[in-house]
Amino acid sequence: MAGDEGLNSKQIAEITEQRQEIVMEALHDLQADMERSKRGIQIVAIAGMYQLTTLPDHAPYFERMAYSPSRSSLSQAALETLAIVAYRQPITRVEIEEIRGVKSDRAIQTLVNKDLIEETGRAEAIGRPILYGTTRAFLDYFGLASLSELPEASAFEQSEGLEEETQLLFEKLEGRQLTIEDVNEEGGDR
């Protein structure tokens, strides 16, 4: 709950309604207990702030987890956002939100984290907003040779275009979402 910064002993004392000396003693006892018990987490003091962190020995496992292809499929919001980016790239977050009618920060972040979209530049507008486009990994992930293999968007009416574009993209891509097992079985790495 404290975020990346952690808490100092004064803040912990205020929260727990204890004297700072008692808090410091409790922190040291907890640190020693976690080390003795060989727990997977530890309390570290950095620049006077205390943080609960994982052990450095476990870092390789967390890195593999963070950078391996996700087994989960994309949410409806992420798929909608991905379809918009695929058809309208380069596009800003604000333009995506205008089309979808809802905030899209989380969907965009998910797609960036999965390396399906990326920052392609900055728009020549006030604030120079980030422009997004699809990645090579997007093409690989969905088995497309190029963006020209996407269903033709110009055939749709403007009023229903987004829903139909999204549905056509879903149909085209259905069954093509790879899991880590698929990649391992093929012996390739996408």
Instruction: Say what percent of the chain tops pLDDT 90.
Output: 42
pLDDT tier, 63 (very low <50, low <70, confident <90, very high otherwise): confident
* pLDDT tens by residue, 97-119: 999 999 999 999 999 998 999 99
* DSSP per-residue codes, 85-125: HHHH-SEEHHHHHHHHSS--HHHHHHHHHTTSEEEEEE-SS
Mean pLDDT for the chain overall? 81
pLDDT tier, 68 (very low <50, low <70, confident <90, very high otherwise): low
Range(s) of the chain covered by CATH 1.10.10.10: 7-58, 76-176
Phi-psi region of 23 (alpha: psi -120 to 50; beta: other; left: phi over 0): alpha
Q: At what angle do helices 76-88 and 93-100 cross, to 10 degrees?
A: 120
* pLDDT tens by residue, 130-185: 999 999 988 887 778 888 888 776 655 454 555 666 666 666 665 454 444 444 44
7-58 CATH choice from 3.90.550.10, 3.60.20.10, 1.10.3720.10, 1.10.10.10: 1.10.10.10
* pLDDT tens by residue, 23-34: 999 999 999 999
Q: Is the peptide bond before 90 cis (omega within 30 degrees of 0)?
A: yes
Residue holding tokens 């604000």?
94
Distance of alpha carbon 5 from alpha carbon 179, whole angstroms: 35
* Those residues with Cβ within 8 angstroms of residue 88's Cβ, 6 or more apart along the chain or in another chain: 95, 99
Residue 46 contacts residue 89 (beta carbons within 8 Å) = no
76-176, CATH topology level? Arc Repressor Mutant, subunit A (1.10.10)
Distance of alpha carbon 46 from alpha carbon 39, whole angstroms: 20
